Amino acid sequence: MTTLFISDLHLDPQRPHIVDLYTELLAGEARRANALYILGDLFESWIGDDDDAALAARVAEATRALRDSGVPVWFMHGNRDFLLGADYAARAGMTVLADPSVIELGGERVLLMHGDTLCTDDVEYLKFRALVRDPRWQAQFLAKPLAERRAFAAQARGESRKHTSAAKPEIMDVNQEAVAAAMRAHGVHKLIHGHTHRPATHHFDLDGRLAERVVLGDWYEQDSVVRIDQAPPR
């Protein structure tokens, strides 16, 4: 059986082709999978579960159909859709997974993260993250009218683009010490994450044992799926 991992789809009404690729995955290959893991940034932005945009409804319906066909769908928040709540997750048939989480895959413990917390060199971003992950900030934000929240999200996206193009490329990648610390803390030698949009499989030594870090790719121009096969139990 195959377990599928995706992240950083950044679904947005501006890129309808990418939404089609996602619904094709859900209706096709994912139906034969063991489970689907969405490791954050499914949406380009999320302003609250009460958003009446057509995209949210379409994605919920298509994702729900996969769950209803018997395939578990796990969702971890990213830095764009961290406000996605229990209501929407239920509508979409997704079970919310904490960041970080450890799962067992083919007898091996695997650490799953979105990946933004591994980018410890990006001090400015981590300050912003601490603010918007504060439950009081979130409650205040969600109490604002939809139009005001939409304007804030558009502004935050602009700021994020400016920051991404101005910051040194190495600052926007994971910090290897942070990777090692997270893996050590969870007693794993395999990590899967997204966020950096630098798809690759990295091998390195972790305390005398070979460790692996799998980075998922973004969906800005094409789809990107990591498939992990497990032998059926004998």
State which residue, 109 or 161, has the beta carbon closest to Mn ion.
Answer: 161
Contact (CB, 8 A) for 3 and 230: yes
Does residue 173 touch Mn ion according to CB under 5 A? no
Does residue 99 touch Mn ion according to CB under 5 A? no
Number of residues that bind Mn ion (CB under 5 A): 4
Residues 6 or more apart from 8 whose CB is under 8 A from it? 40, 41, 78, 194, 195, 197, 216, 217, 218, 219, 224
- Compute the distance between CA of residue 111 and CA of residue 13 in angstroms, rounded to an integer: 32
Whose tokens are 């798809």? That residue is: 199
State which residue, 2 or 101, has the beta carbon closest to Mn ion.
Answer: 101
Binding span for Mn ion by CB under 5 A among 117-125, 184-192, 195-203, 223-231: 195-203
Q: How far is the CB of 126 from Mn ion (least distance, A)?
A: 13
- Compute the distance between CA of residue 42 and CA of residue 194 in angstroms, rounded to an integer: 11
Contact (CB, 8 A) for 81 and 43: yes
Does residue 78 touch Mn ion according to CB under 5 A? yes
Q: How far is the CB of 115 from Mn ion (least distance, A)?
A: 7
Residues 6 or more apart from 101 whose CB is under 8 A from it? 76, 111, 112
Closest CA to 41 of 65, 25, 59: 59
State which residue, 79 or 117, has the beta carbon closest to Mn ion.
Answer: 79
State which residue, 51 or 81, has the beta carbon closest to Mn ion.
Answer: 81
Does residue 79 touch Mn ion according to CB under 5 A? yes
Q: How far is the CB of 224 from Mn ion (least distance, A)?
A: 14
Binding span for Mn ion by CB under 5 A among 48-56, 67-75, 193-201, 222-230: 193-201
Residues 6 or more apart from 172 whose CB is under 8 A from it? 119, 122, 164, 196
> 39-58 mask for Mn ion (x: CB under 5 A)?
--x-----------------
Pure H helices in 46-203:
54-68, 86-91, 123-132, 135-142, 146-166, 176-186
State which residue, 41 or 44, has the beta carbon closest to Mn ion.
Answer: 41
Q: How far is the CB of 150 from Mn ion (least distance, A)?
A: 20
Count other Cβ atoms within 10 Å, centred on residue 40: 29
State which residue, 77 or 149, has the beta carbon closest to Mn ion.
Answer: 77
* Position among 77, 195, 197, 213 found at the interface with Mn ion (CB under 5 A): 195
Does residue 224 touch Mn ion according to CB under 5 A? no
Residue 118: what are its φ and ψ, rounded to 5°?
-85, -10
Residue numbers of the site for Mn ion (CB under 5 A)?
41, 78-79, 195
